[in-house]
Amino acid sequence: MALRPWLEMRSEKGPVREKNEDSLGALETPQTRPGLDGVYVVADGLGGHETGEVASALAVELLLGAYKAQATQQTPLPPASLEASLAETLREMNQAIHRAASARRARLRGFEAPGMATTVTAALLAGDALYLGHVGDSRAYLFRQGNLAQLTEDHSWVAEQVRRGLLTPQDAERHPMLNVITQTVGLGEPIVPFTRTQPLEPGDRLLLCTDGLCGFLSDQALARVLQRFPGQGAVDALIEASIAAGSNDNVTALLVAFEGAHKQR
C-alpha cells in the first residue's frame, strides 16, 4: 500500500535575525529514485560557524541529490536498506561539507575561521512507512489522531542529560546549556546519525522543523495549531505562533499529510 502525500513548507528569516540560515527541500515521484515516494529535509546552519546558510543549503542539495531520480540509478531501493542508506548519506555529507569549507578557506589564502556546520533532519517515504535520518537539534514529529509525538532525538547536551535521567524535562527547558549541540553535519568529526522507521496510517501528518519553531512552542502548542488547521494553512499558522511566542531565530516548517491509500503506480 502507498499513501498519497500533500505538502506545504515555508522558511522564514524571523523578526530578529539578519539572514536566514535555514534551508528545506522536497522531492516526490516521479522525481525520486525507484522505490521512494517522497524525500523531505530541513537543515539549520549554525550561526556560530562560517556561512551557516551555505552549509544548510549544501546539505539540502546533497540529501536531495542522493535520492533524486537518475538515469544511472534504476535499481529500486529496498525498504530494508533505507535506514542504513540515510545514515551513510549523512556521513558522506558531513565530509563533503567539511571539504567545501576547507576549499573555501584555501581560496581565502589561509584565512582562519571555523568550519561550516548544520543540522539535518530528513525523511524518506516508501509505501506506507517513513524512514528518518537525523543529526542535530532540528526535529521530526508525527501528528496522529490529535496526538503529537517527537520521532527524533535531539543531539544536544541537555537532551542527553534528560535521557540519562540526570535532568528533568522541566529543568532542561531553563538550562543555560540548552542550545549546546553535540553532533552536527559539516565539521568533519565522526557522527552517529539517529535513524528510525515509522509505519504510517491514513490521516497522519509529518512535521519537520528547526528549533526556531519547536524551541518556542511546546508539544501541546504545536498540537493545538495542527488540530485547528487540518488542511492547508497549518505551516503559516505554526510559524506565526512561534514568532508570537517570542522566537528570535529563523523559523522553518515542512508538513506532509498522508491521505488515503491508492494503488501503486
* 114-128: pLDDT as tens digits: 578 999 999 999 999
pLDDT at 116: 87
- Which stretch of 73-77, 165-169, 191-195 has the lowest confidence by average pLDDT? 165-169
C-alpha to C-alpha distance for 205 and 69, rounded to whole angstroms: 25
| 35 vs 163, more confident | 35
Evaluate whether 182 touches 160 at the Cβ level (below 8 Å): yes
H/E segment holding residue 239 = helix 234-244
Domain map of the chain by residue range? Answer: 2-152+184-262
Max Cα-Cα span within the chain = 57
- Which stretch of 59-73, 184-198, 238-252 has the lowest confidence by average pLDDT? 59-73
Asked whether the predicted pLDDT for residue 9 surpasses 50, the reply is: yes
Evaluate whether 8 touches 95 at the Cβ level (below 8 Å): no
Instruction: Find out whether the peptide bond into 114 is cis, omega within 30 degrees of 0.
Output: no
Asked whether the predicted pLDDT for residue 14 surpasses 60, the reply is: yes
Evaluate whether the domain defined by 2-152+184-262 bears CATH number 3.40.50.880: no
Asked whether the predicted pLDDT for residue 191 surpasses 80, the reply is: yes
Asked whether the predicted pLDDT for residue 7 surpasses 60, the reply is: yes
- Which stretch of 47-51, 123-127, 205-209 has the lowest confidence by average pLDDT? 47-51
For range 51-72, the mean pLDDT: 92
Asked whether the predicted pLDDT for residue 73 surpasses 80, the reply is: no
CA dihedral 256, 254, 184, 147 (to 10 degrees): -60
Asked whether the predicted pLDDT for residue 162 surpasses 90, the reply is: no
For range 183-188, the mean pLDDT: 93
